[in-house]
Amino acid sequence: MLQENSIKLSSSYAVASKVKDYSQLMKFNLTFMVVFSSVVAYLLVPGVEFNLIKVLLLFAGGLLVSGSANTINQIWEKNTDKLMARTATRPLPSGRMSEGEAITVAIVTGVAGFLIMGYCFNWLSAALSLFSLVMYGFVYTPWKKWNSLAVLVGGIPGAMPLLIGWAAGANNLSEGGWSLFAIQFLWQFPHFWAIAWIAHKDYTRAGFKLLPANGEPNRFTALQAVMYTLLLIPAGVIPYLLKITGGISAIVAIVAGLFFLYRAINLYRKNDVPAARKLMFGSYIYLTIVQLAQLLDKA
């Protein structure tokens, strides 16, 4: 009996460890946030009403496609991940998972997500999902070692969930979807530069070039962040002008934009890691508040 219990405990631990590895491989926490953006865009499409089954299917399709892209990213970066403290414990660099298993996960999840988007929504959203996967996994990922334009390139798949969600509901790429895409596209620059500032030593060790100009965390980088947060303020009002959302969400977007801008200016003034960390957390606050306000204030 004792031996049976030990075997059961051992099996349970093995399953839990494997689930944790897959979660790390697919970057579940990051993917969840990305897919939430897609659901918001879907629900903002005029005429689309909340349907739990549809929302869950969109979550599933988005999680699988994004998870596949993140898996491809980690396959590419298996050796460089070993060099960075925050990524050395991931399944591939630590040796807990083989590259062949990771490739299988990427293929299965990518195909499954593509089919869910195509059959449960439309093939336009499926095609956009595939485009986003390819851009992130095969263009942005290797580009990070070439030059800092990787952030510009990565901004495209990073904002694609808004277009995917809009296309899933509207089956078109009208200005409403592009206005939501623009907000998240602009948002990514101060967001990623703040992260790159904080992890500069790790990224430099791994050979990644994510900061503008000479790749150093300096006032020029901070000034770039200020410029993009400033652009976010008018961008946040466009969905209201297109009559997708109401006036309250426009006011929220302006106030949240000013808060985000203040954090960026603070980085320019202080030019240090604590200020970059505040900007990074400020970026999460901005995007969450703005998207929830848009959802609750749909026109």
- Over residues 68-81, the pLDDT tens digits come to 999 999 999 888 88
Question: Residue 271's domain spans which residues?
Answer: 174-299
Q: What is the pLDDT of residue 209?
A: 81
Answer with the residue of higher pLDDT: 181 or 80. Answer: 181
Among 173, 196, 211, where does a domain finish?
A: 173
Residue 7: inside a domain: no
Considering only CA atoms, which of 142, 143, 116, 144 is closest in space to residue 129?
A: 116
- Where do we find the tokens 């306000």? 293
Q: In terms of domains, do 249 and 113 share one?
A: no
**Cβ-based neighbour number of residue 247 at 10 Å:** 11
Q: What is the CA 56 to chain-centroid distance, rounded?
A: 19
Residue 166 amino acid letter: W
Mean pLDDT of the chain: 90
Residue 267: inside a domain: yes
Among 173, 203, 219, where does a domain finish?
A: 173
What whole-number percentage of the chain has pLDDT above 70? Answer: 94
Considering only CA atoms, which of 262, 299, 298 is closest in space to residue 282?
A: 262
- The DSSP secondary-structure symbol of 298 reads B
Residue 2: inside a domain: no
Read off the pLDDT band of 29 (50, 70, 90): confident
Phi, psi angle pair for 213, to nearest 5°: 60, -120
Q: What is the pLDDT of residue 1?
A: 54
- Burial of 86 by CB count in 10 Å (0-12 exposed, 13-18 middle, 19+ buried)? exposed
Q: In terms of domains, do 28 and 148 share one?
A: yes
Residue 5: inside a domain: no
Answer with the residue of higher pLDDT: 187 or 212. Answer: 187
Residue 8: inside a domain: no
Q: In terms of domains, do 146 and 179 share one?
A: no
